[in-house]
Amino acid sequence: MSEENTRSGFRLDLAFAHVLLRLWVAERLIMAGVDKFRKGSGEDATFNMDNYKVKSQQIADLMSTNSFLPKWMCDQFAHNIGFALLGVGAWVLIGLFTEFSLLAAGLVFISLGFGLAALPDDTEVVYIGVSVLITASALMTCKAKQIGLDGLLFRSKKVD
């Protein structure tokens, strides 16, 4: 790392760390959202709204049957979580208003963790906790967000 980069406040190592963390968070959210629309696997996989409705109803039924959460709450959550996962994932991916997008991602992960914590499956809750930690790490490196729309649109001009 050159001394000039350090003095100007730009650190390439932090910028790369931030983009890697941000891309992982976005990938995790988007892939989880896309999976809500999937039925089957491999060449037989289909993605459509009918699959989404069936899968979200299965999730709601599982949650309301095996936890203390009321059915209406499970229904609302299950029928909207796929769109939240896709929207927040895309927002994190493009890197616009990065701090707010990562906060939203963390809150989505926490909401998933809340539902899983109500079930008797501790392993999945730990995995969600790891996702929250990775999202928090991405937030901690936000100062180095030059790689993304924030870096392009809101960078400060160098004054000579």
CB atoms within 10 A of CB 42: 5
Q: Is 128 in contact with 136 (CB distance < 8 Å)?
A: no
Measure CA 36 to chain center.
14
pTM: 0.85
pLDDT higher than threshold 60 for residue 39: yes
Q: Residue 105: which of 147, 136, 141, 146 has the closest Cα? A: 136
pLDDT higher than threshold 90 for residue 74: yes
Residues of the chain above pLDDT 70, percent: 91
Q: How many angstroms separate the CA atoms of 36 and 84, rounded?
A: 11
pLDDT higher than threshold 90 for residue 46: yes
Q: How many angstroms separate the CA atoms of 89 and 105, rounded?
A: 7
The mean pLDDT of 111-119, rounded to a whole number, is 91
Of the pLDDT bands very low, low, confident and very high (cuts 50, 70, 90), residue 159 is: low
Q: How many angstroms separate the CA atoms of 89 and 82, rounded?
A: 10
Residue 9 vs residue 116, higher pLDDT? 116
pLDDT higher than threshold 60 for residue 4: no
Q: Which residues contact 47 (CB under 8 A, 6 or more apart)?
A: 34, 37, 38, 39
Q: Is 146 in contact with 113 (CB distance < 8 Å)?
A: no
pLDDT higher than threshold 80 for residue 86: yes
What pLDDT is recorded for position 156? 65
What pLDDT is recorded for position 114? 92
The mean pLDDT of 58-65, rounded to a whole number, is 94
The mean pLDDT of 69-88, rounded to a whole number, is 96
**What's the angle, vertex CA 47, arms to CA 45 and CA 49, rounded to 5?**
145
Question: Over the stretch 87-110, which tens digit does the pLDDT of each residue have?
Answer: 999 999 999 999 999 999 999 999
What pLDDT is recorded for position 145? 79
Domain coordinates in residue numbering, the chain: 14-157
